[in-house]
Chains A and B, each alone.
Chain A
Amino acid sequence: MVTTPPPAAHTADVPAGNILERWIRGWDWFWFHPADPTLLGALRILTGMIVVWVQLAYTVDLDALLGPKGLLDVHTVNEFRHNWPWMTIPASWESDMEAYFAGLQSLKPPAAEQRAEIEQYVRTWDVDPRLASDKGFPVWSIFFHVTDRTWIRVIHFSILGVMVLFTIGFCTRVTSVLTWMGAMCYINRNQWGLFGMDTMTNIGLFYLMIGPSGAALSVDRLIARYRATREALRQRRPAPQLGAPPPMVSANLVLRLMQVHFCWIYFAAGTSKLLGTAWWSGTATWGTMANYEFCPMNVPLYMGFLQLLCEHRWLWELFMTGGVIFTLAMELCTPFLIWQRKWRWIVLTGVVLLHTGISLFMGLTAFSFMMGVLAASFVPLEDIERFRRWLARRATSLKLMYQQAGAARQLRAASLVKAFDTFDQVELQPHAPRRESGEKVPADAPLQLITPTGEVLTGFDLFTGLTRWLWLLRPLALVTWLPGVASMGQSRFPGVSPVLEEAATNGVKRQHPEVAAKAR
């Protein structure tokens, strides 16, 4: 269904009221103001790429990390998730140990049938299970239950397939939920083999699942554009100018959730560092640069750099202190400054630099990339719109002529072109029943793409032309340059129109009649 949106309300013009009213309006604007979902679509693609990579990495390690007899076998993991003891925090002033021993003394000797079970629990956990207020974790994973090697692989590749669909944005409302659930299966099964990257990808997937992450930059959007255009063409209406996706409240909500969570992460990371003496003495950066297991100390160039620093103390101290100050400044100031429009790009640049450093010095590339994705939730939407308009100004206008009557294939093809025409470059126009010369346009007149210079392209040349001019299809232009692709395409889709055939034999490049008429 196609609708025309109402003009956007200027939300800054809110009437001043008492402080409670202002707070409520401010809260409402902050969380529930509609926003362009394009940024969310970009975040979906980036997060999806990381998640797919992480999944692929699991492929070579399935038995060791997910198998029933892996490094952390299913028996151990099940023991944790069923029996991990949680003790009540005493409500009085006694310590945990005092409360525990007091509780022990109050216990009656166990019944004979319970004794073996209690003793086994004590041997495993060193606490009496009768004193635990709760046991286990509410965690879940298909890999707790599936132990057959083949089925583990079937499930693994199924999840991988779903993640690919999520990344490209197909059936995103469903694949986003399935992707999060799939990722959680790995996280929960491998709980003690996780690190910061898993934490951040989970946060990203959790929020992307809530919001309309498939509303833009997605196959879903392409399909929706295709269907809208095809419906209009079938009903012999002009093809609609579809433009950017409509602003959505849920898109803004999710972006805000990501932004606030990102700020919490940075604030927690920064303030917790202040508990450490190495951060105060300015030497903490050394602990991240000289850690053999993380840093590229097996690379001679890197070791040479470290030695250069170590042989000149002033240089070492400046470098380390500078690193500490930069890290703390970023982590403590970002949560406040990033909300200020004039500081936004400066802070984002600092975040990128910080995580580039983490990636280079500590090898935590996937983690750094994911932090960058979360930080990207702060990219101003108006700057995205400005970039979109910049691209639109540089886009070439084209015209696509199609046969309206009885040519379902051409309608579909024209709709497909319009689906990829994200900047409304292509004007769809049905062939007129007769040409200027009066001759009837044949029923088999092909799809024709008319360039600004009047060149008429059909068949494979039409496709090549679209890849040159439509922004979304430009990456495919590389494919058309591959040896053999062009000749194969020409032989499969020759598509030369009777008009051009005459021009070709005469060696004259013929302009489209309309363009020629305008020139005259």
Chain B
Amino acid sequence: MTHRAEQIIDAIVALIKAQANLPVNAGNVYAHRTLSLADDQGEMPAITVNIGDDQPSNEGGTDNLAFIDSLLSVSIVGYAIESTEEEVKSQLMDQRRRVHQALMADDSLALPFVIATRYGGAAAPEMDATTERIAGSMESRWHISYRMNFTDPGT
């Protein structure tokens, strides 16, 4: 059993992959992707789900002797590459919309230990026009409140 934060990441990846009308191949939705995404190998467009800060709800780090409630931040980054800037931004906004739909359809993410999922905002798109086509990325942030066992965060 993995850490519950990791279970949350895996669940998010699965929800995004299953989202209807996702403008990204399911195989191009990644967790913790660190290797570059190769345009000429069919890895684009893509979405990466990245684990962020994890802060206990209680400053002391405990809620009671049985469990700890914590707030996990997740960064979801969409990547697109097209011929024009307009096409890239349109693709990125569509990705962002489908990610939002995937996560908010059930704010427990279908996990019994998730208390709530909240939208945490999004960054302005970043663009790069130094390659043959124009590449862009856009991050959306999510905050997931969850509960873990006091002695074993995997349960």
The judgment on whether A and B are partners is no
| Chain A residues at the B interface, C-beta cutoff of 8 Å | none
